[in-house]
Amino acid sequence: MDPIISKPLAPALASAAAPISQSFARRRAQQRELFWPAVLALGVGGFAIGTGEFVIMGLLPEVARDLGVSIPEAGHVISAYALGVVVGAPVLAVATANWSRRTLLIALMALFALGNVASAMAPGYLSLNLLRLLTGLPHGTYFGVSALVAAALAPPDRRASAVGLVMLGLTTATLVGVPLAAWLGQHWGWRSAFLLVGAIAMLAAVLVYRWVPDLKAAPGASPWRELGALAKAQVWLTLGIGAIGFGGMFAVFSYVKPILTEVAGLSVGAVPLVLALFGVGMVAGNLVGSRLADKALMKTIGGVLAWSALVLGSLVFTAQHPATAALSVFLLGTVVAVGPALQIRLMDVAGDAQTLAAALNHSAFNIANALGAWLGGATIAAGLGWTSTGWVGALLSLAGMGVFAASLWHARVHGESIEHKH
């Protein structure tokens, strides 16, 4: 530019840029104001879902006794819920692709509340399995859409941390909600635990209505565009990491109560306290894992899988004593550190199909739930003992590392980026 012209133009350009800069600053300030109330509302929904999903694992003996089935058979109730998540996440995410985010979140939470109240009234084993399957349907889509809302309101370089804050509701549930519901279930019957979950879910629906911005779906969103995610190899590989590698935690935690009482020799009354330790581990893992994922996404995924194999394999030896068993349960909770990282990885590789990809992350985790509970139950039923679930868990973590290695290989061969996209 000619310097004679540029001098008089400079003040004009600066003056023109000022309103744009101010507008951007106002928009960022508004986003920050909306972020924390929205995250709190979404977190309460996560708290309800986390309590409903995990409390049954601490009440399996009560459910089995009430319904007249064995504990491994009662474990099928866990798998039924997980199957509902696996089916519901893709179906609901595709069917509601063009819904506004807030309307969808309220509808999902209302359905979850209804399912839990109905579960509390189930007359028998078959009906309880069916109702748990139906209750699981909104789980994955709720967390997926919540993650998208949180990421949209957060700075680009803090997306994983924002997702981690939403997931904090689920992990806090294991610290507060699950022990509370387990105590309620032991004193007033397992059905009362599901009534509590239903009440929390209705509260979450009200808070979402009050505090979550009414964000619209992405321009051009449609069921067909969402289905485009299924054509991407990296989407399937990332889902495979979660579905297999995360199954180890569920292989152990699904049977944590008999492990603590039958192997470690803890009293039934001490079990809620140890479950609270699991919750502390989940909260710590979620917070640390999301921060690490913002800095080094793929290294975090690989590192957590290796940590998971170590923790699960060691449980075979530590479960014999109350103190070391309690420590292992705490460490088991930290394995959830992989969750926010996989959520962001899916959003990075899904392109325009964000809703389906975000929801499928929770389908993968609940395939892990069903797979882990089933394989753990199979080794117990085969007479290998409660601690055999630790070996099952370690093997599943190692298998997840194999899928992770395949994802890195595929990215290298096809020239795909493995870096965190801001």
The gap between the terminal CA atoms of the chain, to the nearest Å, is: 33
In a domain, 9, yes or no: no
Q: Is the pTM of this model over 0.75?
A: yes
Is residue 293 in some structural domain? Answer: yes
- Residue 240 domain-assigned (yes or no): yes
pLDDT along the chain (422 residues), means of 10: 48 50 54 80 93 83 86 84 86 88 95 96 92 94 90 80 86 81 85 94 96 79 74 91 93 88 86 84 90 90 96 92 92 92 87 81 83 90 89 95 95 75 48
How many independent structural domains does the chain possess? 1
In a domain, residue 2? The reply is: no
Residue 154: what are its φ and ψ, rounded to 5°?
-95, 160
Would you say residue 270 lies in a domain?
A: yes
What local confidence, expressed as pLDDT, does residue 6 receive?
Answer: 47
Q: Is residue 14 one of the residues assigned to a domain? A: no
CATH number of residue 118's parent domain: 1.20.1250.20
Residue 29 falls inside a structural domain: no
Range of the domain at 348: 35-413
Q: What is the pLDDT of residue 422?
A: 46
Cα 356 from Cα 74, distance rounded (Å): 31
Distance CA 96, CA 214 (A): 15
> Which residue is listed with tokens 């992990």?
171
pLDDT at 1: 45
The DSSP code sequence of 186-253 is: HHH-HHHHHHHHHHHHHHHHHHHHHHS--PPPPTT--HHHHHGGGG-HHHHHHHHHHHHHTHHHHHHH
Q: Is residue 28 part of a domain?
A: no
